Amino acid sequence: MKESLFNKIRKKVIPLFVAGSALGVTIMCTSCQANDEPQEEDLPVIAENSQEAETSTTEETQSVTTASTVTTTETQARSIILQTTTTITTLSTEARSVPMGTQAEVTKPPTTHYDEWPAQYATTTANGTAVTGGTEDTTISSSVGTAYSESPNSTFYQERLYIAGDSIAYGFNAYGLIPSEHNIAKESVSMWNLDYFTFNTGLGLVDTIGYTQPSLLYMSMGMNDVNTSTAEEFAERYKTAINQIRDQVPDINIIVAGITPVTNESEFANNDVICSFNTALKNMVTELNSNHVYYFDAYSVVADPATNSLRPENTGGDGIHLTTQCYYDTLNSLFTYLDTTPVKSNIEKSESAGE
């Protein structure tokens, strides 16, 4: 058997080093445990092991530095995560303050050829302010006129009234009968494209109603539907919208207005078709059987009894849109009608509970 590494080191290294040298002891013990055959002679072996020791120390130092860096990075990361979590929590709280509901992604809606407000006539409000029709004309919205009615509760109703719907519904705001913040109506709105629109809240029609929480809502739309769907489909969509609104505003009182007529000369729609849609609406409201939802016959308010069409003096010039007087007449009739329902007591009860 070859001479052991221990004997070689003992013979050659001891004369060069002091007995008990820590490095010599480490080398001898390591060789003894491994029981390996010698690979190099004395000094080269010692030098190599010394270099390895220095390298190991450097690596350990680097490891400590890396560990310190990792610890710092982890601390920073935890701080960022904490800040991000706080921000998300804040945003989540803010988001909950705005009701979320049913509207779809907003895209440019289809339009019909009558959607622009009549631009070639002028009229006046109750306070004498001149108004000229126009697509985005809201010049008198800040000055709200008061509708006269035989109802002793006219002011009560009008102060609480919100209007939702299409360009015909928008006339209540355009002619100053409701303030702008009570207007949830604009051109081209219909039941078949309801989710295409957002209003001054940045939300869709249903969610805007949910956000504003009105106690009295007048819904007027359908002129954009009569040529695009059946009466049954229209009424079913209407019912869905009403149910969605009531989910967000349980105490709301909804007035479903009949579609108004067109003149005999109008080529846009047929009054017999409009009447069939109104019949479907009335039947839908009857089936709901709710003391918070009522059908109002707006058609008859502005129609000529002799012809069953829109009176020529009631049109804004296109055979479809209405004059200022029509809106006053409509509110006068509406307020008188509401006195025959529990709407006022419903509102008072709700407001009393909220105090």
Please indicate, yes or no, if residue 109 is contained in any of the structural domains.
no
Question: What CA–CA distance (Å, rounded) separates 67 from 247?
Answer: 57
Query: Chain-centre distance of CA 264, in angstroms?
Result: 41
pLDDT of residue 67: 52
How does the average pLDDT of the chain come out, rounded?
73
Question: What CA–CA distance (Å, rounded) separates 347 from 84?
Answer: 44
Please indicate, yes or no, if residue 184 is contained in any of the structural domains.
yes
Please indicate, yes or no, if residue 91 is contained in any of the structural domains.
no
Averaged pLDDT, 124-137: 38
| pLDDT reading at 273 higher than 70 | yes
Do 49 and 195 reside in the same domain of the chain?
no
Question: What CA–CA distance (Å, rounded) separates 85 from 82?
Answer: 5
pLDDT of residue 235: 97
Averaged pLDDT, 60-72: 54
Do 243 and 169 reside in the same domain of the chain?
yes
Q: Residue 3 class from Cβ within 10 Å (0-12 exposed, 13-18 middle, 19+ buried)?
A: exposed
For the chain, list the strands marked E by DSSP. Answer: 122-124, 130-132, 161-165, 183-185, 216-220, 253-257, 293-296
pLDDT of residue 116: 47
Do 68 and 143 reside in the same domain of the chain?
no
Do 195 and 326 reside in the same domain of the chain?
yes
Q: Give the angle subtended at the CA of 285 by the CAs of 279 and 287, to the nearest 5°.
A: 100
| pLDDT reading at 120 higher than 70 | no
Q: What is the pTM of this model?
A: 0.63
| pLDDT reading at 74 higher than 80 | no
Do 130 and 213 reside in the same domain of the chain?
yes
Domain-ending residue, one of 32, 52, 82: 82
User: What proportions of the chain, in percent to the nearest 5, are helix, strand and coil?
Assistant: 50, 10, 40
Please indicate, yes or no, if residue 115 is contained in any of the structural domains.
no
pLDDT tens, residue by residue, 201-258: 889 999 999 999 999 999 999 999 999 899 999 999 999 999 999 999 999 999 999 9
pLDDT tens, residue by residue, 283-319: 999 999 999 999 999 999 999 999 999 998 888 888 9
Q: How many domains does the chain have?
A: 2
Do 72 and 202 reside in the same domain of the chain?
no
pLDDT of residue 88: 34
Contact between residue 298 and residue 257 where contact means Cβ atoms under 8 Å apart = yes
Taking the CA atoms of 263, 266, 272 and 278 in sequence, report the sign of the dihedral they define.
Answer: negative
Contact between residue 138 and residue 153 where contact means Cβ atoms under 8 Å apart = no
Least confident of 2-11, 123-132, 193-202, 250-259: 123-132
Question: What CA–CA distance (Å, rounded) separates 180 from 200?
Answer: 9
Averaged pLDDT, 121-137: 37
Please indicate, yes or no, if residue 247 is contained in any of the structural domains.
yes
Contact between residue 115 and residue 167 where contact means Cβ atoms under 8 Å apart = yes
Please indicate, yes or no, if residue 314 is contained in any of the structural domains.
yes
Do 60 and 128 reside in the same domain of the chain?
no
Averaged pLDDT, 58-84: 52
Do 157 and 300 reside in the same domain of the chain?
yes
Averaged pLDDT, 257-266: 95
Do 134 and 231 reside in the same domain of the chain?
yes
Please indicate, yes or no, if residue 40 is contained in any of the structural domains.
yes
Do 179 and 248 reside in the same domain of the chain?
yes
Please indicate, yes or no, if residue 44 is contained in any of the structural domains.
yes
Do 145 and 47 reside in the same domain of the chain?
no
| pLDDT reading at 8 higher than 60 | no
Domain-ending residue, one of 56, 82, 108: 82
pLDDT of residue 136: 33
- Domain of 158 in residue numbering reads as 122-354
Q: Tell me phi and psi for residue 295, to 5 degrees.
A: -95, 135
Question: To the nearest 10°, the Cα dihedral for 167, 171, 172, 178?
Answer: 90
DSSP string, 126-152: TT--EEE--TT--TTTTS------S-T
Q: What is the CATH number of the domain that holds 255?
A: 3.40.50.1110
Task: Please list the residues that pair with 161 across neighbouring strands.
Answer: 216
| pLDDT reading at 268 higher than 50 | yes
Do 70 and 196 reside in the same domain of the chain?
no
pLDDT of residue 16: 47
Question: What CA–CA distance (Å, rounded) separates 236 from 242?
Answer: 10
pLDDT of residue 330: 95
pLDDT tens, residue by residue, 85-107: 444 333 333 322 233 333 334 34
State the amino acid at position 121 in one-letter form.
Y
